Structure 1
Amino acid sequence: MSIIKLLLKEIEQEAQTTRNLLSIVPNDKYNWQPHPKSMSVMKLTNHIAELPGWLTMAVTTDGLDFAANPYEPTFFSNTADVLEVFENQLADGRANLEAMSETELEKPWILRSGDYVLSAMTKYETIRMTLAQTIHHRAQLGVYLRLLNIPIPGSYGPSADELEEMKHYA
């Protein structure tokens, strides 16, 4: 199987897990944050929803300069809008990755702020970093939801909530 097909398979698997978690965020919890230094639920869910857009950037550009292109996040305070952003970014990222050639994966991609280089990776490594960031922030959201006493779905197997529910049927 080609590297691009393997990446697309992994992206879809992670997208389903992300979709499952984003879909259970209650609309009345978007302003909640667990600590003053932590992101609010709104900032975190919106960031997670925008992350698949980095797939498109990795594939269609040679990098991103924050000094020349300041980051302007979106802020939606309801689950339906967050999911729509996620699905649109994901569809665009997948389409661009599907159109890419394997040799392009080896090309460099630089993240910078002016002259300060934040990271220098290949396009492949940038795609993998995007997946890692999604998984990382999704785990943060899982902790937030747990602190809010909201049962969470499993990621790579059943969650404690799902195992507890299974015991009732055993």
Structure 2
Amino acid sequence: MELHTVEKTKQKNMDIIKLLLKEYEAEFNTTKKFLALVPADKFDWAPHEKSMKMKSLTVHIADLPRWVTLALTTDGLDFETAPYTEPSVESTDDLVKILEENYVQGKADLEKATEENLNGRWVLSMGKQVLADYSKYETIRHSLSQTSHHRAQLGVYLRLLDIPIPGSYGPSADDQNF
């Protein structure tokens, strides 16, 4: 009886990881389509003075899959001791390369993960100020949510620049004859 319970627990663990991997891959593929459309000559453009510049927004989007690795290989991130440095990007290809590298590493780390890993604590801080206190699973989910959130922002940027937008979770208005 105990062996059956252990097997059910292993199956549950694999289901969670398989689901995360499936979602992670889908978000990567959609995000790659969006980043491939970003015109490098518009890197300094923003739709509003309070908005991020196109380059910073897209580098952040390309960097988000790295948070899967951060969640699974660290117990947190302190911006006071490890300030964020935006990767150098000169072209659209550079953006896509950053996204691909981060995705490949995150996927490899997620494939090696166990449910025990997902239950571990992960803290984002700025010195003594705690910005987020999540399980590692919640950190991964948060990074996926951040990806779709910021990709939607990018969709607005692209729309305002009159660049056709690919579908994310189905066809976009540009994918159909409306």
Task: Quickly name the TM-score band, shorter chain normalised.
Answer: over 0.9
Q: Which amino acid aligns with 2:59?
A: N
1:111 aligns to 2:124 (yes or no): yes
Looking at structure 2, the residues matched to 47 and 145 of structure 1 have their Cα atoms a distance apart, in angstroms, of: 16
1:5 aligns to 2:21 (yes or no): no
1:29-61 Cα shifts (integer Å, max 9, x gaps): 111111111111111111101111111000000
| Of 29, 34, 46, the match for 1:21 | 34
Number of paired residues? 165
Q: What displacement does 1:99 show?
A: 1.1
What secondary structure sits across from 1:4 in the alignment? helix
Question: What is the Cα-based RMSD across aligned positions, in Å?
Answer: 1.0
Q: TM-score, normalised by structure 1?
A: 0.94
Unaligned runs of 5+ in 1: none
1:137 aligns to 2:141 (yes or no): no
Looking at structure 2, the residues matched to 28 and 65 of structure 1 have their Cα atoms a distance apart, in angstroms, of: 33
Identity %: 55
**Does structure 2 retain, via aligned residues, the 8 Å contact 1:42–1:77?**
no
**Does structure 2 retain, via aligned residues, the 8 Å contact 1:43–1:75?**
no
Looking at structure 2, the residues matched to 13 and 38 of structure 1 have their Cα atoms a distance apart, in angstroms, of: 27
Q: Which residue matches 1:71?
A: 84
Q: Which has more radius of gyration? A: 2
Looking at structure 1, the residues matched to 37 and 126 of structure 2 have their Cα atoms a distance apart, in angstroms, of: 35
Q: Which residue matches 1:147?
A: 160
Query: Segments of 4+ in structure 1 off by > 3 A?
Result: none
**Does structure 2 retain, via aligned residues, the 8 Å contact 1:76–1:82?**
yes
Looking at structure 1, the residues matched to 59 and 93 of structure 2 have their Cα atoms a distance apart, in angstroms, of: 11
Q: Which amino acid aligns with 2:16?
A: I
Q: Which amino acid aligns with 1:64?
A: L
Looking at structure 2, the residues matched to 115 and 67 of structure 1 have their Cα atoms a distance apart, in angstroms, of: 9
Q: Which residue matches 2:70?
A: 57
Q: What displacement does 1:24 show?
A: 1.1
What secondary structure sits across from 1:93 in the alignment? helix
Q: Which residue matches 2:108?
A: 95
Q: What displacement does 1:162 show?
A: 1.2
1:85 aligns to 2:85 (yes or no): no
Q: Which residue matches 2:170?
A: 157
Looking at structure 2, the residues matched to 79 and 64 of structure 1 have their Cα atoms a distance apart, in angstroms, of: 28
